Amino acid sequence: MFRRTFLIKSTAAATALAAPALHAQSWPAAPVKLVVGFPPGGGADALARVVAAKLSMIWNQQVVVENRAGASSTLAAEFVARQPADGMTLFLSTINSQALAPAVNSRLRYHPERDFTPIVLLGVTPNVLITRTTARERNIKDVVALCRQQPGKISFGSAGPGTIQHFAIEKFKLLSGVDALHVPYKGSAPLLTDLIGGQIDFTFETMTAATPHIKGGKVIPIAQTRAKRSRAYPDVPTMQEQGFPTFETMNWYGISGPANLPVALARRINADVNNVLAMPDVVRQFDGFGVEDGGGTLEQYAQFTRTEIEKWAKVAKEAKVSLES
């Protein structure tokens, strides 16, 4: 009896384990959507299209980038959280949707951990403090001095309230003790247009969005915000090197699915994306954007996200950043 019961249970367990594995093998049978919470042409969109093109070849099925811009990627996150957990809709999860928005808005209609399956980290990139080419400021000391000369008048643009640029501004104000003017925009494109045109003074822009303008000679980099220098900008000093030893902000990108995605399917997608990230041409493109240190397991991305949620909740509390009235 014991042997028969054991065999029945073993067979049932094997069947349960095999079911998602078989699903993963037959998947995808139709085009897959990769939802991006930002407009076409931005840094997040550019990375998504690089990965989508490679996955389309690996899966022999089209991976379509679908842009659902608005509310710092939270509208896209809300949409994906409601989709079936079949792998046909994936999400370009970012620091905005998974860590910053939850830190400043308790009324979100999704939970950054409970409603998603973390699949893989695509990479992290610093912010870069930039200014127009005609500005005299060339280092952080100059920027701090300018802010102290004109308290509350020197403008720092962001891609919107609660974005990583906004958080970087607030962290800079906290650590430097200066008063500066936060000017929120609806995305990086109009922000950069006004910076280049001289309507605002500075921005802690994401490196992916800032890089084309830096390389095109339209803006000047003053500092980068990770603890270590990016391979893409070996000559631009970090904030820590310029007198702010605890200053570190970074943007990050990953791929997630809706909650309850079958583990076998999640691991299949994870393995394929890791293969994409190891391709020499993808490495070159990501390096050009300043995106580094991607890849890893499902569990590593889940832990990374959890740590980021806790970190930015603390910063939001200290800087009194909130989007709730």
One domain for residues 255 and 119: yes
Model confidence at 18: pLDDT above 50: no
Range of the domain at 97: 31-124+251-319
pLDDT, position 62:
98
Q: For residues 11 and 97, which has the higher predicted lDDT (pLDDT)?
A: 97
For residues 24-42, average pLDDT: 88
One domain for residues 114 and 256: yes
pLDDT, position 288:
85
Query: How would residue 26 be classed by pLDDT, with cut points 50, 70 and 90?
Result: confident
Q: Is residue 25 part of a domain?
A: no
Q: Is residue 119 part of a domain?
A: yes
What residue spans of the chain are helical by DSSP H? 2-26, 43-59, 74-81, 95, 101-104, 140-149, 164-176, 188-197, 207-215, 263-277, 280-289, 298-319
| Residue in 21, 19, 9 with CA at minimum distance from that of residue 268 | 21
Cα–Cα distance list, 62 to 49, 59, 90 (Å): 12, 8, 13
One domain for residues 279 and 223: no
For residues 256-270, average pLDDT: 98
Copy the structure tokens of residue 54. 């490679």
Per-residue pLDDT tens over the stretch 152-204: 999 999 988 888 999 999 999 999 999 999 999 877 888 999 999 999 999 99
Per-residue pLDDT tens over the stretch 174-187: 999 999 999 998 77
Mean pLDDT of the chain: 90
Query: How would residue 42 be classed by pLDDT, with cut points 50, 70 and 90?
Result: confident
Identify each DSSP E strand in 60-115 by its residue range. Answer: 63-67, 89-94
The residues facing 238 across adjacent strands are 224
Cα–Cα distance list, 292 to 123, 142, 225, 289 (Å): 5, 29, 14, 9
Q: Is residue 2 part of a domain?
A: no
* Domain harbouring 177, CATH code: 3.40.190.10
One domain for residues 93 and 178: no
Q: Is residue 22 part of a domain?
A: no
Cα–Cα distance list, 69 to 38, 91, 106, 168 (Å): 4, 12, 20, 22
One domain for residues 292 and 147: no
* Model-wide pTM > 0.85: no
For residues 232-242, average pLDDT: 96
Q: Is residue 19 part of a domain?
A: no
The residue from 211, 242, 273 where one domain ends is 242
One domain for residues 204 and 267: no
Domain count, the chain: 2
The residue from 197, 215, 242 where one domain ends is 242
